[in-house]
Structure 1
């Protein structure tokens, strides 16, 4: 998905405070899987239990202030970063190959353009539970991820998938959005979360679900911030929002005005990597487990389950659901 989508993407190498963790091995594995355009932006100081902070590789002075072996490694990764940025721009690569040093402005602007075009995927590192490296990731998202008006036109098709459609990201265009997740809220029930690519959507109106060939009515629109749900009257291009209690809509569906129908590519989900079997003690337990699994499956498209009479096996992309 990372290499095919050509969309701005960041990676975060987590749990570097844990035993046997290795930044170098993870970078090598990521680049082997997804390509050399996955470039480190931060470098860890310390290993495992001594891991204490990260250094911004875009900050030359910060890198040069490091001591010992870490300095040599950080300088190596910084050089990889600059080379990867230069390779995405003819003027920059000419200057780089000519032995000239790229200015800080050229590096920052070059990275912005490369991220926008999906030609570079910044890699960050840290420990989420200890808050190490998280601030650097958030700041980079603000700094480098393009605003909705800066992204390239969205590629879609006619509802039957035969004719390509190029859709401009603008609040002035007809409404178009895509659902990427659903969650079960204990107070309002199922929340459908979607990204608005163009146009706007008012509360207490509705839209057309192309995938299900169905009209859906909505009530309130929410902006989500952790567990907080802020009610808003309207969302527009670039917003991520949620609505409750939709009857037909699920993850991956395209939402739009019925007068201008289009369809976005279905979101490709990774295949499950872990399998387990469950053996309920009683028939009543089995029914309760299947109800819980159904809720998990509706929230996470990578979570697959079924009632296999021989194995009673369920599958998941990770172990959180299991």
Structure 2
């Protein structure tokens, strides 16, 4: 397969709430482009993008997957993403390297939680964004209600480009107000779109919407605005050019109509992608960071420039090892190309370079600037790493993954599997950086922090499938603390005589409460040498060991002061050991008298209401 020039590339990420039709939209686009000869099925586990065992079992996308095809002599890279919020780490990584975002919205359910979250990601990354209504053939589909919801949530810049003649069963005709034509599709037949004049019954509505479209596009560009004021209209080419520019500047968000399961609207959507969505060149340069002085550097998508590529996804495959999904931002990438991992300085020499069709790898000679693909046999480069020619000191800004929301302790089912768990989680984290692993030293617990229960279940099942280790989940132990309300004193006396030299230590200790977050303080008020100075460090050590495990429930003791103020000693039998034990005895006795109680941790909580 020949390398594709940047101006002939379109990089599209398909996003949306879970179950809104993203995978079937990807599937229908692939079929229409001739990539496959039949439409895959989610229920049967035969789609291009949901090919892993856990995706087939759960009937949900759990990973980013790549599909590509050609349309109008342009290569379209389609990135299908999960819809479940638990896997939005993949959504953010895919959006990071795409040039246009398609937000799929179920016309039966409208704007959902995932839709809002994805919109915020598009704002964060400043990505050109289009909305695609799906499932317009469903019983409860409502075009008008969904458009109104989109405008209410995302503003007046949301503008429909099409409307359906009918919704629900029988839906197969669209009125396109950019073309000002009627588009008719034969259900389930790719390439069946026929274009005709708009029937009189729908002409008035189409003209009104067309006028709104012209005004909306004209407002985004001064020259178009002047042309509109002079002539009262814009040509189709002017509208198309204006929409493309407005997409890049996020001043226009068009809405298109589809029913992917029956291939309705997908042929027109492919024309839109090639004619309106920006190429890497039209999208503009990538903002890189110079590692020498942390200054910003603009990276042009020039195949003749220095090679700079960004790894946005790492996965492990049987018999292959780690594979790295990347986008080339400058220069070109080919097998055996000597590169430097800018983050680590490690020399990397990629093996075969591929472009992807779901799980199918298609070898290519090289990837040019702007293209997306996969490489094998990188030694130590992972997600968020930048690969570049030697001497290039520029890196791509990293993906900022969503913060985990669910924390769970995990324990091995079989004793001795702790190391296998640690190794397995380390490898899984390289594939999915959106979860984190922590070790709680206080309770010796491994804490897994994920984006939700489904995310947690998936990690645990992958741990078993890939590394043959089973774990159970357990409650995270709460880090309670013990302290006192009142001051109290007590004597600790350790005396032992069993022939020969004995043991003798005697100390009086007073415990005093301290303000919160003060910790522990030790002081000595001993006078007259009743407790020799050389034994006071042993007294302090005994007290400090005692606060590690409180009297009430064994939790650490905080916020008190321990004062040694009296005692006695034996000139022969006293020792550091004896005074350490005596101090511990005095502490426990005084603690009981000081009205001890348990402190609960206080956590700061931030609530975001979209």
Question: The TM-score by the shorter chain falls in which range?
Answer: 0.7 to 0.9
Q: Identify the residue that residue 160 of structure 2 maps to in structure 1.
A: 40
Q: Identify the residue that residue 197 of structure 1 maps to in structure 2.
A: 329
Aligned-residue offset at 1:198 = 0.9
User: 2:380 and 2:273 mapped to 1: Cα distance?
Assistant: 33
Structure 1 residues 133 and 297 mapped into 2: Cα distance closer, same or farther (>3 Å)?
A: farther
Select the structure of larger CA radius of gyration: 2
User: 1:272 and 1:97 mapped to 2: Cα distance?
Assistant: 52
Answer whether contact 2:342 2:388 (CA < 8 A) is retained. Answer: yes
Q: Which residue, 451, 454, 460 being the options, matches 1:315?
A: 451
Q: Is 1:169–2:275 an aligned residue pair? A: no
Aligned-residue offset at 1:112 = 2.3
Answer whether contact 2:435 2:449 (CA < 8 A) is retained. Answer: no
Aligned-residue offset at 1:15 = 2.9
Aligned-residue offset at 1:222 = 0.5
Unaligned segments of structure 1, at least 5 residues: none
Answer whether contact 1:43 1:54 (CA < 8 A) is retained. Answer: yes
Q: Is 1:283–2:413 an aligned residue pair? A: yes
Equivalent residue of 1:266, what SS?
coil
User: 1:318 and 1:292 mapped to 2: Cα distance?
Assistant: 18
Aligned-residue offset at 1:6 = 3.4
Q: Which residue, 237, 243, 256 being the options, matches 2:388?
A: 256
User: 1:105 and 1:189 mapped to 2: Cα distance?
Assistant: 49
User: 1:21 and 1:292 mapped to 2: Cα distance?
Assistant: 45
Answer whether contact 2:350 2:375 (CA < 8 A) is retained. Answer: yes
Structure 1 range deviating more: 308-317 or 262-271? 308-317
User: 1:276 and 1:133 mapped to 2: Cα distance?
Assistant: 43
Answer whether contact 2:180 2:206 (CA < 8 A) is retained. Answer: no
Answer whether contact 2:351 2:375 (CA < 8 A) is retained. Answer: yes
User: 2:203 and 2:451 mapped to 1: Cα distance?
Assistant: 43
Aligned-residue offset at 1:215 = 3.1
Answer whether contact 1:44 1:126 (CA < 8 A) is retained. Answer: no
Answer whether contact 1:159 1:262 (CA < 8 A) is retained. Answer: yes
Equivalent residue of 1:181, what SS?
strand
Q: Identify the residue that residue 65 of structure 1 maps to in structure 2.
A: 198
- Give matches, 1:46-125, under 5 Å: 46-62=166-182, 65=198, 75-97=207-229, 100-125=232-257
User: 1:120 and 1:53 mapped to 2: Cα distance?
Assistant: 25
- Give matches, 1:141-290, under 5 Å: 141-159=273-291, 162-186=294-318, 188-269=320-401, 283=413
User: 1:294 and 1:209 mapped to 2: Cα distance?
Assistant: 20
Q: 1:272-302 deviations in whole A, cap 9, x for unaligned?
A: 79x799999x926x9999999888765555x
TM-score w.r.t. the length of structure 1 is: 0.77
Equivalent residue of 1:10, what SS?
strand
Q: 1:109-134 deviations in whole A, cap 9, x for unaligned?
A: 21222234443333323233332222
Structure 1 residues 128 and 162 mapped into 2: Cα distance closer, same or farther (>3 Å)?
A: same
Answer whether contact 2:175 2:181 (CA < 8 A) is retained. Answer: no
Aligned-residue offset at 1:186 = 4.5
User: 1:220 and 1:169 mapped to 2: Cα distance?
Assistant: 22
Q: Which residue, 123, 132, 137 being the options, matches 1:3?
A: 123
Equivalent residue of 2:314, what SS?
strand
Structure 1 range deviating more: 185-194 or 239-248? 185-194
Q: Which residue, 146, 150, 153 being the options, matches 1:26?
A: 146
Structure 1 range deviating more: 88-97 or 183-192? 183-192
Aligned-residue offset at 1:242 = 0.6
Equivalent residue of 1:238, what SS?
coil
Equivalent residue of 2:223, what SS?
helix
Aligned-residue offset at 1:199 = 0.6
The two structures, once aligned, show a CA RMSD in angstroms of 4.0
Q: 1:53-105 deviations in whole A, cap 9, x for unaligned?
A: 4433311133872576x766655544443222111110212333567011112
Aligned-residue offset at 1:191 = 2.5
TM-score w.r.t. the length of structure 2 is: 0.44
User: 2:421 and 2:150 mapped to 1: Cα distance?
Assistant: 36
- Report how many residues are paired: 317
Whose relative contact order is higher, 1 or 2, with alpha carbons under 8 Å and at least 6 apart?
A: 1
Aligned-residue offset at 1:218 = 1.2
Q: Identify the residue that residue 261 of structure 2 maps to in structure 1.
A: 129
Aligned-residue offset at 1:175 = 0.7
